[in-house]
Structure formats: C-alpha cells, structure tokens
Amino acid sequence: MTPLDRIDRTILEALQNNARLSNKALAAQVGLAPSSCLARVKRLETEGIIQGYRAELNVRSMGLGLQALIAVQLRQHVGEAFGNIGDHLRSLPETVAVYCLGGTTDFLVHVVCRDTEHLRVLTNQSFTNRPEVSRIETSLVFSFTRLGVPVDKGA
C-alpha cells in the first residue's frame, strides 16, 4: 500500500464531507489537475482505503421515527455463538450497524423502527428469543449524527 500524503488525506476528507463532488470540483479543491486527482481517487479505491460511497437517508421521511441501541449479552462466549448471532443481527432489515465488543456487552446493535410497538416486536422476536442471547438492554436514540473518520493531514 502506498503511504498517504497530504493531498491523499485532503481528498479523503473532502469525499467524506461530500462523496458527490465531481472529479473536477475535487481536483480544484485539492489543487490537482483533474486527471491526477482521478488517478489518486482510483488508487485509494483499489487499495481499499475508500471502501464505498453511500447515500445518507432521512429515516423519519421513510416512516422510521424511532432509533435504538440494543446491547446484547450472550449466554456463552464461544466462536459459534458469536458467528451465528452476528450473522442474524446483520440480516435484520431494521439493523443500521452492528458492533462486536469486548466487555460486558458482546454486541451493540443500532436499529431503526416505525414506533415503540415495532421495537417491542423486534426485540422479542429477533433478540430475546435467540438461544445465544442471555440478556438485552435497549436505549432509545434521541439524536444521531454520523461523523467521518478523522483525517490527520499533518503526515
């Protein structure tokens, strides 16, 4: 992998802030010719530093007015249980993100639901009924802001 220089880091920061920037606008912002900028972006993609581009959706406008974080504690800490429940949690349509953790919480799952009834049904059917799960704790999310990865431009 090629070491990241200041221009690479500036490109990464700019694309995190607005992934829809045209190559021409991005090149102007970072001070490169469009062809050089495009070559750098392609390299960052090929090397897996840029893993993808996503649309950020307004969940409320989609009828999903409730967000929650569900802390999951497993009965047993064996590889098979982690794999099975991890696959299950990632497969749920309500799942936004799944974190596998060390400590008292084994998984932290960010979900979106229509309302509290939807959340109740989800937790009963997809969490507490699982044989791997010992306990869950649900916290409601009142606000959520997605931030980018910090890009150190000093390197």
Torsions phi, psi of 45, nearest 5?
-70, -50
Q: Domains of the chain: which residue ranges? A: 6-46, 60-141
Q: What is the pLDDT of residue 152?
A: 83
What is residue 148's predicted lDDT score, i.e. its pLDDT? 87
Tell me if 88 sits within 8 A of 146, measured CB to CB. no
Of the CATH numbers 3.50.50.60, 3.30.70.920, 2.60.40.10, 3.40.190.290, which one belongs to the domain with range 60-141?
A: 3.30.70.920
3-state class of 96 per DSSP? strand
Which CATH number among 2.170.190.11, 3.90.870.10, 1.10.10.10, 2.60.120.680 corresponds to the domain 6-46?
1.10.10.10
| pTM confidence score | 0.84
The rounded Cα 46 to chain-centroid distance in angstroms is 20
In order along its 155 residues, the chain shows pLDDT tens digits of: 889 999 999 999 999 999 999 999 999 999 999 999 999 999 999 999 999 998 888 999 999 999 999 999 999 887 777 888 999 999 999 999 999 999 999 999 999 999 999 999 999 999 999 999 999 999 999 998 888 889 887 65
